Amino acid sequence: MSDVNSIQSKMHRAGHYPLRVAQYLRLRERIPPLYGMLSVNAGILAYTHRTLAPGFLTLTIPAILIASCLIRMLVWLRPIGQQDLEEDAAQARMHKAIWLSLAFAMAFTIWSLSLDRYGGPYEHGHVAVFVSVTVLGCVFCLTFLPTAALLICLTSLGMFLAYCVTTGSATLTAIAINIALVSAVILKILRDTYDSFVELEVAQRELRIERRQAQALGDENARLAQTDALTGLPNRRYFFAALENLLETAEDQVFCVGLIDLDRFKPVNDTYGHAQGDRLLQVIGTRLVAQCDPSVIIARLGGDEFGFIVPGGPDEAEAIAQKFCSAIRMPARLGEVTVAVGGSAGIAIYPESARNAHSLYDRADFALYHAKNHRRGQSVRFSDQLETLIRSEQALDAAMQCADLARELSVAFQPIIATESNQPVSFECLARWTSPVLGVIAPEMMIASAERVGRARDVTATLFDRALDALALLPHPISVSFNLSGHDISDAETISTLLERIDKSGCDARRLLFEITETTLIAEVDKARSVLERLRATGARIALDDFGTGYSSLSSLHQLPLDMVKIDRSFAPRLDETVGRRLISAIRNLARALSLECVIEGIETEDQLLSARIAGFSLAQGFHFARPMTLEEMLGRVEASSKSWHFA
């Protein structure tokens, strides 16, 4: 019913429907009164002749005619349905109306003229009035169906005129001519009205079409303003508008905001040019869209940063983020070249992490920052602990950024001892940072911070200078070992700096040992091998540090140019048990088979030292011998030990 109401309420809106439908709708309003008028007029005419004419003319025929009128009236009065608004249906109905009007005109005229044979001058007058007034009434009602109006005029008035002429009455003929003339004028006026109606409808329709086109154009402009031109994804503006929108309606409904940042995207841009970089972004945009259903909003926020909104909890968001990261990781073919980048993601949860768009974005960014630094290629969700951690990392980075490296960095030395003689064969240089703002910072944290803020090269160079200074002060053949991070190994300039410094110092490079962890080597084996070869070419030796903490076997590492293996300090306590001892011996034997020297780290007790000796270790390091010490302490102890058998 409400449909019908809405259709009816729209009925008079010019230009709303196709012309035929509009015409039909206007006609619908006029046809029922037409039939009503016809029925009443016919009833009255039958009534005035009731005693004068035979029953079939005053009762039967008018009853049939009036009943037909009422049936047609009901047909036109039924509610409008959707089918009435179709052009073909409207056209067919109007066609039918034209033929019916012709039939009714003939039937009523013949009937009324049949009655005219009965009765006196008043009754004759009544018939003339019936014909003329009813015809004019019908013509008015059929303004929107001019053909029918014309047909009725021609049929009824034509028959009436012919009838009047045959009766030979000059007055009647004159009346008929008068009526015909008036009808002609009225027909002309109605035709003009109809033409104006058609013109108005057509003009309004064109106007509506133009308006619709303008609206479509406006919508398209709005869409473009919210679309990223490169990837076709929604842009930053859309992302934040959608987020605000969601916040307005979300109340306490959980949803997640995520950010993705590509890893190693810059080298693609730098190496293959921006055009290829753009193509890669397009490929990634398409992949991201393919990972989730349309309920997830995914947008490019700028550069190599994407954002997404998941209408669900953190587990759902994390699953989607992992899918995104995996999809990004897949190598992409860009014409001739294949490139591989990674993606890390950060997720903030509404309402747990924050309640407004800006803070949600910030928290997701926080989590992303953590992912990029500690869990590359994965997703991290925001938590309060994470915020504390990142804030402390940021404080660390701020201190590192403005640190006076020469003054704040120092080196501690820890001996590597020959187990047989208890004499130091080497000293490992361990970095120490005492920040005036934050105090003493653990070396791993210091190195990570230096990498984040881009000072790793300066830090390594500063520490290496201290190591070379120490080497110059240590008696021959004691060597120093120096730790290199993954970052150092991958940075050609750091390696060149180290080589330059070795050269400049004039030291005997055979007394230098570089310690490198397994993870560093495995990440880029080929690159690592060439770097190690460059270092080794000076005469320096290479030690594999923290062995046993990674996943690779010694045999897989033996293709690398290594001289020594340092077994991670976590193994030392296992020297106290039989199984552990067996395992450690096996590692020792394998190293020997590969012609690698072997150091056991983390020896803290006399018993461990004894076990290490029995297991065949000739070199060991640990608190049992000495904790890391200053340069002065080291030199003092070396001097003292040269006079006795024991270092410790």
Q: Does 483 bind ligand C2E (CB under 6 A)?
A: yes
Which is nearer to Ca ion, 208 or 574 (by Cβ)?
574
Which parts of 375-418 fold into alpha helices (H)?
Answer: 384-401, 405-408
Rank residues 343 and 628 by Cβ distance to ligand C2E and give the closer one.
628
488 lines the binding site for Ca ion (CB under 5 A): no
Instruction: Say if residues 164 and 175 touch (Cβ distance below 8 Å).
Output: yes
Secondary structure class of 484 (helix, strand, coil): strand
- By beta-carbon proximity to Ca ion, the closer residue of 518 and 546 is 546
How far CA 477 is from CA of 426, 541, 595, 597, in Å, comes to 9, 14, 21, 16
Q: Does 156 bind Ca ion (CB under 5 A)?
A: no
520 near Ca ion, judged by CB under 5 A: no
Contact 371, 318 (CB under 8 A): no
Cα separation of 59 and 293, whole Å?
Answer: 74
Q: Which of ligand C2E, Ca ion, none does residue 607 bind to, with CB < 5 to 8 Å depending on kind?
A: none
342: left (phi over 0), alpha (psi -120 to 50) or beta: beta
- 158 or 573: whose CB is closer to ligand C2E? 573
Nearest Cα residue to 26 out of 84, 69, 75, 72: 84
DSSP string for residues in 182-193: HHHHHHHHHHHH
Query: Which partner in ligand C2E, Ca ion, none is near 623 (CB below 5 to 8 A by kind)?
Result: ligand C2E
Q: Which amino acid makes up residue 264?
A: R
Residue from 23, 291, 449, 483 in contact with Ca ion (CB under 5 A): 483
In whole angstroms, how close is the CB of 516 to Ca ion at the nearest point? 9
Q: Which residues contact 104 (CB under 8 A, 6 or more apart)?
A: 38, 65, 68, 69
Instruction: Copy the structure tokens of residue 560.
Output: 């690398």
Are 137 and 39 in contact by the 8 Å Cβ rule? The answer is no
Q: Determine the residue type at 641.
A: S
d(CA 601, CA 416): 9
Within a 13 Å sphere around the CA of 206, how many CA atoms are in the beta-carbon half? Answer: 5
Per-residue mark of binding to Ca ion, 522-561 (x: CB under 5 A): -----------------------xx---------------
Among 490, 604, 613, 629, binds ligand C2E (CB under 6 A): 604
**3-class secondary structure for 33-65?**
HHHHHHHHHHHHHHHHCCCCCCHHHHHHHHHHH
Q: Is 443 in the site for ligand C2E (CB under 6 A)?
A: yes
493 is known as an active-site residue = no
Stretch that binds ligand C2E, among 204-212, 243-251, 293-301, 619-627 (CB under 6 A): 619-627
**Site membership for ligand C2E, residue 607 (CB under 6 A):** no
Choosing among Ca ion, ligand C2E, none, which partner's interface includes residue 442 (Cβ < 5 to 8 Å by kind)?
Answer: ligand C2E
Contact between 515 and Ca ion by CB under 5 A: the answer reads yes
Count of beta carbons in the 10 Å neighbourhood of residue 31: 23
Cα angle for residues 444, 447, 448 (degrees, 5° grid): 85
Q: Using only the alpha carbons of the chain, give its radius of gyration.
A: 50
Q: Per DSSP, what are the bridge partners of residue 348?
A: 257
Residue 431 site contact among Ca ion, ligand C2E, none (CB < 5 to 8 Å, cut-off depends on kind): ligand C2E
Tokens, residue 72: 């047609």
- Position 365 contacts Ca ion (CB under 5 A): no
CB closer to ligand C2E, 109 vs 494: 494
Q: Please name which of 640, 648, 595, 593 lies closest in space to residue 620, comparing C-alpha atoms.
A: 648
Q: Quick check: 545 binds ligand C2E (CB under 6 A)? A: yes
User: Shortest gap between Cβ of 571 and Ca ion (angstroms)?
Assistant: 11
Tell me how far apart the alpha carbons of residues 121 and 314 are, in angstroms, rounded to a whole number: 98
For the CB of residue 545, give the shortest distance to ligand C2E in the complex, in Å.
5
Q: Which does 140 bind (CB under 5 to 8 A by kind): Ca ion, ligand C2E, none?
A: none
The residue from 409, 502, 546, 617 that contacts ligand C2E (CB under 6 A) is: 546
Residue 443 interacts, among ligand C2E, Ca ion, none and using kind-specific CB cut-offs from 5 to 8 Å, with ligand C2E
Helix (H) or strand (E) holding 409: strand 409-418
Which of 272, 623 has the CB closer to ligand C2E? Answer: 623
- Closest contact distance (angstroms) between CB of 512 and ligand C2E is 13
The interface region with ligand C2E, picked from 91-99, 384-392, 481-489, 587-595 by CB under 6 A, is 481-489
Contact 334, 265 (CB under 8 A): no
344 forms beta bridges with: 261
Q: Does 623 bind ligand C2E (CB under 6 A)?
A: yes
Q: Which is nearer to ligand C2E, 480 or 484 (CB)?
A: 484
Output the smallest distance, CB 571 to ligand C2E, in A.
Answer: 11
Q: Select 611 or 621, whichever has its Cβ closest to ligand C2E.
A: 621
Residues 6+ apart with CB under 8 A from 127: 45, 112, 113, 115, 116
Query: Is residue 251 within 8 Å of 299, Cβ to Cβ?
Result: no
Q: Which of residues 217-276 bind Ca ion (CB under 5 A)?
A: none
Helix (H) / strand (E) containing 431? strand 423-435
Residue 600: name its binding partner from Ca ion, ligand C2E, none (Cβ under 5 to 8 Å by kind).
Answer: none
628 binds, among Ca ion, ligand C2E, none (CB under 5 to 8 A by kind): ligand C2E
Q: Which does 32 bind (CB under 5 to 8 A by kind): Ca ion, ligand C2E, none?
A: none
Q: 192 is written with which tokens?
A: 């003009």
Q: What share of the chain is helix, strand, coil (3-state, %, to 5)?
A: 65, 15, 20
Interface positions, 416-435, toward ligand C2E (CB under 6 A): 429-431
The stretch among 67-75, 401-409, 527-535, 621-629 that binds ligand C2E (CB under 6 A) is 621-629
User: Catalytic pick from 601, 604, 632, 633?
Assistant: 601
The 499-538 contact track toward ligand C2E, x by CB under 6 A, reads ----------------x-----------------------
Cβ of residue 488: shortest distance to ligand C2E, in angstroms?
6
Applying CB under 6 A, the span of 99-107, 437-445, 492-500, 634-642 interacting with ligand C2E comes to 437-445
Answer for which of 41, 414, 419, 426 binds ligand C2E (CB under 6 A) is: 414
What is the DSSP-derived secondary structure letter of residue 629?
A: B
Residue 551 token pair:
């996943």
* Positions marked active-site: 601
Chain residues binding Ca ion by CB under 5 A are 483, 515, 545-546, 601
Chain residues binding ligand C2E by CB under 6 A are 414, 429-431, 442-444, 447, 463, 483-485, 515, 545-546, 569, 602-604, 621-623, 628
